Structure 1
C-alpha cells in the first residue's frame, strides 16, 4: 500500500469509529429502541432453536412462517411491557431537570430486564422437556420453594445448570456492556423535543403491548393456532408465558374463562351427573351437599389407607399397556378392585390430592390445597371420617410444608403429620426426602400403633422417590437401564418399595379390617401433540384389603369418584359435598342395572379443560371456544371430529364452573 493511501485509510477508519450507532441519535429514546431491537433478535433466535429442536411436531402444522411472525408479535408485547415503566417516568425526570439520572436508571432497568428475559429462555429447554410447554404457572409455583427446587436442580441437573450459568454470564456481560454505552453518550435533546416526542412513543408502546385493535387485547389464546399445546407455546416467549401466569393469579378460582351459565342450570346439571338421587340433597345453600348411604353394610366400618404414588402413570404398568417395570403393582390386577380406565384430574401432586382426598374437581386455578379460602372448613375425607370418630394422619418422606400440604391437611380434618423430621436414621435420603422404603417402614409402624389403640383411622401415605432427579438407594433393584438415575429405574424402585410394604401389610393384624387403595397422583411428564393429551392422564388404581373381592372396572373413572366410593366400601354413611360418584351404585361392574349414568372423567391441562365420556372428548378453551375429538383407547390417539355435542359441552362447562363457585363462596363444607 502506498504511503499516500495509508493516511486516507486510517482517516476513514477513525471517522467510522467516531460515528454513533444511528439509533443513538434518538436522544433519550435510543436505549429503549436498542432494548427492543436486541431483545427481538435474541427471542427470535431462541424461538428458532426451539422450533428446530421440536421440528417433527412443528412441521405437521405447516405454519412455520406464521409462528415466526406471531412470535415477533408476542416478543414486542413482552419488550413493550418492560420498556413502558421507564418511558412513563421520563417526563418526571425531565421536569426535575434530571435527564441524565433517567438515562442511568434506564440503562440499569433495561439491562436487568433483558437478562431476566434471557434467563427464562435459557431455562426453557429443560422445562419444555419435563412439562411439554414453555415455563408457565408451574414455573411460578415452584419458585415458592427455592430450597427444595435448588436441591433438586443441583442433584439432577448439574450439567444443565453449568450450561445455563455459562450462557447467562456471557449474555449478561454483553448486555451490561451494551447498555452502559447509553448512560452518558446519547445525543442531547432539548427538553421541548423530548416532551413533544414522548406522546408518540407512549402510543407506539401502547399499540405494541395491546397488539390488537379489537375490543380485547392479545392474550395467550391469541397465539394458539393448532391442536398441539406444546407447539402453541413455542409461538410466544417464556417471559410472556410467565407474565401471563402471574397475571392470571388474580383470577384464581375463576372458571368463567370458559363461559357463563345460569346458577340454576349449573346445579341441575352437576346434581344429575352425581347420580345421587334428588332426595339425597340436603341443602339449597350448599349445592352439592348430600347424604350418602353406604352400599356395603358393616357392623364395624373399615379403616382406610391411601397410598398415593408420585408420578406413576399407566405408561409404567404393563397391565395398562405400559412398560413392564412395576411387577408388584401389576400383579394386583387380579387381587382387588382394579381400574382399567382411571384418569387423573391434573398434572401436579396437589391436583391429585385435591381430587382424591377432597373429592374436588379441577379448575384452571391453583389447587385448593394452596388457595387461601380452603385452608379451614374445606371438606375432605379426613373431616368426614373425623365426624365418624376416625383419627387421620399424613405420612410423607419429605418436608410436609411443600405445596402447603401441612397447612391444608391440618386445617381440614387431619390430626397429625408425620414427615422427614420424624424418621429416625433413614436408610437413604435424597433431594425430596427419605426413600420410599423408609416411608413405608414408618407407615407400617403407625398402622400397627393405630391398630393396637383400636381407634378407627385413616392414613394417607405419599411417596416421593419417583420424582426428578430420581434418587434411590443402590442395590435394591436390578436396573431397567443405564444410567441409574432415570425415570424407569426410579419407578421400578418405587414399585419395589410398594411391594415390600404390601407384603408386610398382608401379614399384619391390621390388614383384615383395613381398606387399602394404591393410586397415582398423576403421570410424569404430561406431554403430547393435542390440546389435552388424554392418554397422559391415564393412571393405575386398585383397592385391596379386608374382604375386598377381585373385580375389574373397565368403565371410565375420575379421581374425584374415589372418595365417595371408598366411604361406601368402608361401610360409612355420611353427609358431604363431594360431587364425585359412588361407583358401587353407578357402574355395571358392581352389579347395577340400567339405566346408569354415562361414565366420565375430567382433566385440567394448564388452561384447557377436557371432558371424556365414552370415546368422545370435549375440550373447553379460554374465551369460550369448544373443540370436539374422538379418543381411541387402544391406540391412545385423540382425533378431531366434525360431530359436535352441545349437550356434552354444557355438562363440561357446568362441572368446571361449579367448583369455582363452591370455592369462591366457601360452600364446600357441611353447614
Structure 2
C-alpha cells in the first residue's frame, strides 16, 4: 500500500474516532437531560393520576417500575437517535444539534399527550390512531371534549424541554470514554429488547396501576411500527404437518369440536350442531316472536348485577335479571364497540381491524338480521349517534337491513345530550332513543330490531346530571356499600351517574313496552358492548366482562347461569330456538365462530375463543378455565378474576388454539369464502 494512502487512512480513522468521542460526549449530555425530563413527567403523571383516580395501594412500586420503563424506552430511542445524530453532524454539527433539540422537545410533548389520553380514558393509545378514519377520530375527540388546559400545558412542556435541552447538556456532558460507553449501552439495550422486557413487568395487582407504570410513548411507537411494518406471517406454523398434530384435538379449539367439510376453501364453515338450550325456558307462542336486541354502551359487570365487585349502579336491571335468563359470567368479544354488531348478530371473525372495516371486501355471510328478514321479519337498527362510525352502516346494509335510524333521523323536538367543551356530543340520549323508537315501531310483527345506546360514553354528560350525581352519592353512602370503596367511587361519579341514567332509560323502555299488545310476544336481549374502561379495571378480563339478560313474557321460569359464554354464542342459540319452535329455515352448514350459549349452573367454560381489545390488539384468548394474554397465562377464577399461573404445557395448548383461529382469520383475509354461493344465495333475502 502506498505510504500516502496509509497516512490518509490513519488520518481518517483518527478523525472518525475524534468525531465519535465528541458526538458521544455531546449526545449523552442530551440523553441525561431527557432522562430528567421524563422523570419529571413521570412524577406529574403519578400525581395527576392520584388526583383523578385516587391513591394506589402500591403507588411506590408503580412509580419505581415506571421510572425503569421510562429509562428503558429512552435507552432504546437513543440507540436509534445517536447514529442519525452522528452522521448528520458530519455535515453540520449545528444542524444536528437543532434537529435533535427539536425532536427531543416534540418527543416530550407527544409523551404528555399520550399520558393525558391514558389518564382520561384509562386506555393506552396505540395503532388505533391509524386505523380509525379522520372523521371517526374527530367525532370521538369532539364529543369527549378537548381539555383546553392541556394545550398550554403541552406548549409549556415543549418550551421548557427546549430550554433544558439547550442550556443543560453542556453542564451534564460526560467524558469521551464515558460517552462511548453509554452509546455502547444504548446498542446493547436495544439488541436485548430491554424496553419490551420491562414493559411486561407488573407493578401492581390492578390493571390500572400496571398500565399507569407503563411508558405510554414506547407502547404507541411500538404498536405504530408493528402496524406500518408488520412482521412476516409465521407460515411455517400452519403447514399441514404441523397442524396435523392437533387439528382434530378439541382442546385446541373448542369442546364443541366443529366438523369442517372443506377447511381450505371455507375455513369457518362447519356443520351447525348448536344445541337448542333456550327452548326449555321459553314457551312457544302462537306466532314467531319479535326479537329486540339492546346493546348498552359501556355496561360492565363490575358495576352492574348482583355480583358487581364495585357495587351495582343498575337497580332496575338487577331487578329485571331476577325474572330473566341471566348469564353472570358473560364476555364481550372486544374492548370497543367495533365488534359488537358483527359478533352478536352473525358470530363473525374479526378480520384484521374488525369485520366492519373490511367494507366492500366483506365476504358474503348470513346473520340473524338477513335470515329473519328472508322469512318475513322487519329489520331495523336504532342509534342515537352517527351510524357511519366504525362503518356500522356498511355492515348493516350488507345484511339487507330494512331501516337504519340514527342521528340524522331524529325530529327537531328531540334533545341531544349535553354538549362537551367543543359544543359537540355523541348524539341523542338513551331516553330520547327509546322514545323515538316507540314513535316509529310498527304495530304488528314479526320484527328484529337492534338498539345501540350512547349516553354512557365519554364525556358522561346526561340531562338532569345533578340529580344523578346526587343519586350516586346516596348509593355509595348507603350502609350496604363497602366503606373501603367509597373514596374511590367518588372519583368516578360522572361515569356512575351515566350508568344510573341508562338504567332509568331501560326502566322507561320496558314499562312503555309493557303497554303494547306485542310485548307479550317479544324476546328482549340486553348486553353491554364492553366494560367502561374509564373506571379502573381489576385485570384484562374485566374489560370484556358484561352481563347478558334474556327477558320475555314467554319465559317459563327465570334462571341464573354461572357457565361462561360470549357474544359469539348469542346468534347461533337464538336461531336454533326459532328453528325448533317456529320452523325458521336456516342452513345446516354455518360459519359461526360461536358454538352456542351455555346454560350450566356451575362455573365452567366449554368454549375457546379469541378476544380483541381494540382494532390492533388481538392477543387475548380464552380456553376452558385459562386465559392467554400475549405470552402470559392466567387461570380464570369464579367471579371472573385472573390468577397468574406457570404451566408451559397449558400455555402451548392455548397458543395452538389461538394460532388455529388466526390461520382461519388470515385465510378469510386472503380471499377464502365464509359460505358457498349456493347457501348464501338460497338464504340471503331477495
Give how far 1:81 is off. 4.5
Is 1:640–2:665 an aligned residue pair? no
Per the alignment, residue 121 of structure 1 pairs with: 112
* Compared CA separation, residues 617 and 222, structure 1 to 2 (3 A): same
Is 1:170–2:156 an aligned residue pair? yes
Secondary structure in 1 matching 2:357:
coil
Is 1:444–2:438 an aligned residue pair? yes
User: Which range moves more in the overlay, 403-412 or 80-89?
Assistant: 80-89
TM-score (norm 2): 0.73
Per the alignment, residue 500 of structure 2 pairs with: 492
User: Which range moves more in the overlay, 33-42 or 301-310?
Assistant: 33-42
Per the alignment, residue 130 of structure 1 pairs with: 121
Count of aligned positions: 596
Is 1:409–2:434 an aligned residue pair? no
What is the rounded CA distance, in whole Å, between the counterparts of 2:96 and 2:300 in structure 1?
50
Kindly indicate whether the alpha-carbon contact (under 8 Å) linking 1:253 and 1:663 is maintained by their aligned counterparts in 2. no
Please report the RMSD computed on the Cα atoms of aligned residues, expressed in angstroms: 4.5
Secondary structure in 2 matching 1:543:
strand
What is the rounded CA distance, in whole Å, between the counterparts of 2:24 and 2:89 in structure 1?
10
Aligned pairs for 1:264-663 (under 5 A) are 264=244, 268-269=248-249, 285-292=265-272, 295=276, 301-321=288-308, 323-360=311-348, 366-371=353-358, 375=362, 377=364, 379-388=366-375, 390-425=377-412, 426-430=414-418, 431-448=425-442, 452=444, 456-474=446-464, 479-481=470-472, 486-525=494-533, 532-545=539-552, 547-549=554-556, 550-571=558-579, 572=584, 573-574=586-587, 575-583=589-597, 587-588=599-600, 598=606, 603-605=611-613, 606=617, 608-611=619-622, 613=624, 616-621=625-630, 625-633=631-639, 637-642=641-646, 646=650, 649=654, 652-654=657-659, 656-658=661-663, 660-663=665-668
* Compared CA separation, residues 299 and 618, structure 1 to 2 (3 A): same
Kindly indicate whether the alpha-carbon contact (under 8 Å) linking 2:252 and 2:654 is maintained by their aligned counterparts in 1. no
Give how far 1:487 is off. 0.9
What is the rounded CA distance, in whole Å, between the counterparts of 1:536 and 1:415 in structure 2?
33
Per the alignment, residue 11 of structure 1 pairs with: none
Give how far 1:567 is off. 1.4
Secondary structure in 1 matching 2:531:
coil
* Compared CA separation, residues 292 and 641, structure 1 to 2 (3 A): closer
Consecutive unaligned residues of structure 1, counting only runs of 5 or more, are: 1-22, 186-196, 591-595
Secondary structure in 1 matching 2:226:
helix
What is the rounded CA distance, in whole Å, between the counterparts of 1:557 and 1:238 in structure 2?
33
What is the rounded CA distance, in whole Å, between the counterparts of 1:80 and 1:213 in structure 2?
9
User: Which range moves more in the overlay, 222-231 or 503-512?
Assistant: 222-231
Give how far 1:242 is off. 0.9
Give how far 1:637 is off. 4.1
Whose relative contact order is higher, 1 or 2, with alpha carbons under 8 Å and at least 6 apart? 2
* Compared CA separation, residues 44 and 259, structure 1 to 2 (3 A): farther
What is the rounded CA distance, in whole Å, between the counterparts of 2:262 and 2:373 in structure 1?
20
Per the alignment, residue 41 of structure 1 pairs with: 36
Kindly indicate whether the alpha-carbon contact (under 8 Å) linking 2:270 and 2:590 is maintained by their aligned counterparts in 1. yes
Secondary structure in 2 matching 1:111:
helix
Give how far 1:289 is off. 1.5
Secondary structure in 2 matching 1:522:
coil
Deviation by residue 1:40-92 (Cα, 9 ceiling, x = unmatched) = 3212322344457678465686x97665345312113235546665655666x
Is 1:238–2:216 an aligned residue pair? yes
What is the rounded CA distance, in whole Å, between the counterparts of 1:375 and 1:467 in structure 2?
28
Kindly indicate whether the alpha-carbon contact (under 8 Å) linking 2:289 and 2:521 is maintained by their aligned counterparts in 1. yes
What is the rounded CA distance, in whole Å, between the counterparts of 1:529 and 1:480 in structure 2?
23
* Compared CA separation, residues 292 and 648, structure 1 to 2 (3 A): same
What is the rounded CA distance, in whole Å, between the counterparts of 1:260 and 1:601 in structure 2?
19
Aligned pairs for 1:199-210 (under 5 A) are 208=186
Give how far 1:136 is off. 2.8
Secondary structure in 2 matching 1:552:
strand
Deviation by residue 1:133-163 (Cα, 9 ceiling, x = unmatched) = 5433455556843432332343xx64xx41x
* Compared CA separation, residues 670 and 119, structure 1 to 2 (3 A): same
Secondary structure in 2 matching 1:472:
coil
Give how far 1:269 is off. 4.5
Give how far 1:522 is off. 0.8
* Compared CA separation, residues 239 and 24, structure 1 to 2 (3 A): farther
Give how far 1:345 is off. 2.4
Secondary structure in 2 matching 1:471:
coil
Secondary structure in 2 matching 1:443:
helix
Kindly indicate whether the alpha-carbon contact (under 8 Å) linking 1:307 and 1:518 is maintained by their aligned counterparts in 2. yes
Deviation by residue 1:180-212 (Cα, 9 ceiling, x = unmatched) = 899xx9xxxxxxxxxxx9xx99x9979737834
User: Which range moves more in the overlay, 297-306 or 430-439?
Assistant: 297-306
What is the rounded CA distance, in whole Å, between the counterparts of 2:380 and 2:322 in structure 1?
29
Give how far 1:384 is off. 4.1
Per the alignment, residue 143 of structure 2 pairs with: 152
What is the rounded CA distance, in whole Å, between the counterparts of 1:656 and 1:279 in structure 2?
15
Deviation by residue 1:309-343 (Cα, 9 ceiling, x = unmatched) = 00011122242335342122112113322112112
Kindly indicate whether the alpha-carbon contact (under 8 Å) linking 1:345 and 1:361 is maintained by their aligned counterparts in 2. no
Give how far 1:224 is off. 1.1
Kindly indicate whether the alpha-carbon contact (under 8 Å) linking 1:397 and 1:439 is maintained by their aligned counterparts in 2. yes
Consecutive unaligned residues of structure 2, counting only runs of 5 or more, are: 1-17, 171-175, 419-424, 474-489, 677-686
Per the alignment, residue 481 of structure 2 pairs with: none
Kindly indicate whether the alpha-carbon contact (under 8 Å) linking 1:437 and 1:497 is maintained by their aligned counterparts in 2. yes
Give how far 1:534 is off. 2.6
TM-score (norm 1): 0.74
